[in-house]
Amino acid sequence: MNTKLSVNINKIATLRNSRGGNVPDLLKVAEDCERFGAQGITVHPRPDERHIRYKDVTDLKPLLTTEFNIEGNPKEQKFVDLVLQVKPHQVTLVPDATGQLTSDHGWDTVVNKAYLKDTIAMFNSAGIRTSIFVDPDIRMVEGAKDVGTNRIELYTEMYAKQFPVNPQQACKPYVEAAKRASGLGIGINAGHDLSLQNLRYFVEHVEGVLEVSIGHALIADALYFGLENTIQLYLRQLSQPKS
């Protein structure tokens, strides 16, 4: 099984918004990512629309031919309405606060059990696969089972930080969390700070990762290698045989 690559195009929107026009053209970049081999496109609209705008999401929907993943906080009613209108393949629920620079923690699936259960049931009954962002913590993974999510997205910032020091230690909580999730029949995604340097090791050691969503590092690499080459480089990390 190869892990799928979903390209997070938020950074393209950030660049576009910095000048107020339509350069770079977000829709074209998304289509090009697919043409260059990406197996999915991820967007993370936030209430202040500082990168992806709500209109971008509705504009993208008819164009995309691969998996569309929309991330965000369902406590924002506008986000819920958007997802139900667009009906992407997957919604990834993230507990980020308004104005937060980037996602920096997963759900407490125990404390938010009732809320997540209702929210997930609502999206599932609209035919949308659900994933929830969680830290690599066995209790949170077990809580994810209780709320009925189809998948979890393991929050990988801690892995990325520790990887240069001790890759094996960095991976350990993720290996265990993934084992528990698989045992409970929950699908596994992963994301945040994954890069050309740390991606292969992660998917080689953490069993059963179905999909990674990568934005910041991939778009930065594209400045040097070009978008097509960069996507190919990331795909190659994902298709390496086990060592």
Contacting residues toward ligand PXP, per CB under 6 A: 8, 10, 44, 71, 92, 94, 102-103, 133, 153, 191-194, 213-217
User: In terms of C-beta density within 10 A (0-12 exposed, 13-18 middle, 19 or more buried), how is residue 81 classed?
Assistant: exposed
Phi first, then psi, for residue 220 (nearest 5°) are -65, -40
Residue closer to ligand PXP (CB basis): 13 or 171: 13
- Amino acid in the structure at residue 33: C
Pick 171 or 217: Cβ nearer ligand PXP: 217
Of residues 183 and 220, the one with the C-beta less far from ligand PXP? 220
CA distance readout (Å), 164 to 61, 161, 198, 213: 38, 7, 8, 21
Q: Which is nearer to ligand PXP, 205 or 234 (CB)?
A: 234
> If you count DSSP H runs as helices and E runs as strands, how many of each does the chain have, helices first?
11, 8
Q: Hey, what amino acid is at 55? A: K
Cβ of residue 129: shortest distance to ligand PXP, in angstroms?
15
Q: How many CB atoms lie within 10 A of CB 211?
A: 24
The one catalytic residue in 34, 51, 153, 192 is: 192
| Cα–Cα distance measured from residue 216 to residue 108, given in angstroms and rounded to the nearest whole number | 25
CB atoms inside a 10 Å sphere around CB 102: 14
Q: Give the separation between CA 240 and CA 243, rounded to whole angstroms.
A: 8
The residue length of the chain stands at 243
Of the residues 71, 153, 205, 211, which is catalytic? 71
**Could you give the CA distance from residue 34 to residue 41 in angstroms, rounded to a whole number?**
8
The answer to whether residue 192 is catalytic is: yes
When the beta carbons of 34 and 156 are compared against ligand PXP, the nearer one is 156
Nearest approach, Cβ of residue 231 and ligand PXP (Å):
14
How far is 51 from 57, CA to CA, in rounded Å? Answer: 11
216 counts as catalytic: no
Active-site entry in 44, 51, 153, 211: 44
71 is catalytic: yes
As measured in angstroms, the least distance from the Cβ of 198 to ligand PXP is 11
The distance of closest approach from Cβ of residue 91 to ligand PXP in the complex, given in angstroms and rounded to an integer, is 11
User: Considering the complex, what minimum distance in angstroms separates the CB of residue 190 from ligand PXP?
Assistant: 8
Would you please indicate which residues are annotated as catalytic (active-site) residues?
44, 71, 192
